Chains A and B, each alone.
Chain A
């Protein structure tokens, strides 16, 4: 079946503009993650949605960042008033979550954001 789909694959924006990044998880996956991958910084956790529970937003770097997940499926990550340090690859992953915690994450190919 289809994997995790992210759009756009590349986004170039001017400093100060808002951007929206979209993630379509694998159908039926209850958990959805957003991570940010910067050169030399590894994978930085941003936010985690699990079913109908309140999301874990502890990784969002500032109040310019927000995310929502509508209907337990598609998610949108919004960055307001973008800054150059926001330039990175934004990765989405989904998982058929269980309390046992062993389910693997399935990653999308990411959105490469460049703020000029």
Chain B
């Protein structure tokens, strides 16, 4: 079975500061990795994903995440956050052992950006 651990339930940060949201996973097979974001009063949407190839993936709004297989991590980073980045961020994994497999989410990290 797979599991996802998001080490911080809440991360407060000042505007224009860097931020890292941590995600570790556990799996006996290879996995695909995802970050989803839920802005206040909105539904969840995909932020970025790692399927294969380069271990560093980027989103269109400046976030990036790096897949580290040895540390089983997929931490999300942004060098300078904006007020509009305030949201809840969910890390998720899906095993790719053949066939169709469900997506498992972590508990979420609430990012609060202060002016």
A residues with a Cβ closer than 8 A to B are 31, 33, 35, 40-43, 45, 48, 50-51, 53, 56, 59, 91, 93, 97, 99-102, 104-105, 107-110
B49 touches A102 (CB 8 A): yes
Q: B8 to nearest A CB, angstroms?
A: 13
16 A–B contacts from the bound complex (CB under 8 Å): A31-B100, A33-B102, A42-B6, A43-B108, A59-B102, A93-B44, A97-B100, A99-B99, A99-B100, A100-B51, A101-B94, A105-B36, A105-B46, A105-B103, A109-B42, A109-B43
* Chain B residue nearest in CB terms to A41: B107
| A91-B43, A110-B43 given; 20 more Cβ-contact pairs under 8 Å | A33-B103, A40-B9, A41-B107, A42-B90, A42-B107, A48-B102, A51-B100, A59-B102, A91-B44, A93-B44, A99-B100, A100-B51, A101-B94, A101-B96, A101-B100, A101-B101, A104-B49, A105-B44, A107-B43, A107-B44
CA distance A101 to B36 in the complex (A): 15
Q: Is B105 an interface residue (CB 8 A)?
A: yes
Q: How distant is the Cα of A42 from the Cα of B44 in the complex, in angstroms? A: 12
State which residues 75-112 of B face A: CB under 8 Å: 90, 94, 96, 98-108
Would B100 and A108 count as touching, CB distance under 8 A?
Answer: no
> Interface centre among A45, A59, A102, by most B CB within 10 Å?
A102
Interface residues of B (CB under 8 A from A): 6, 9, 32, 34, 36, 42-46, 49, 51, 90, 94, 96, 98-108
Cβ contact within 8 Å between A107 and B100: no
For A42, the chain B residues whose CB sits under 8 A away are 6, 90, 105-108
Please state if B43 and A108 are interface contacts (CB–CB under 8 Å): yes
Give the complex CA separation of A93 and B96 in angstroms.
20
Smallest Cβ-Cβ distance to B4: which chain A residue = A42
Indicate whether A104 sits within 8 Å of B106 (C-beta atoms), given known contacts A50-B100, A53-B100, A99-B100.
Answer: no
Given A31, A35, A51, A97, which contacts B105 in the complex, CB threshold below 8 Å?
A35
Residue of A nearest to B98 (CB): A99
Closest residue of chain A to B45, judged by CB? A107
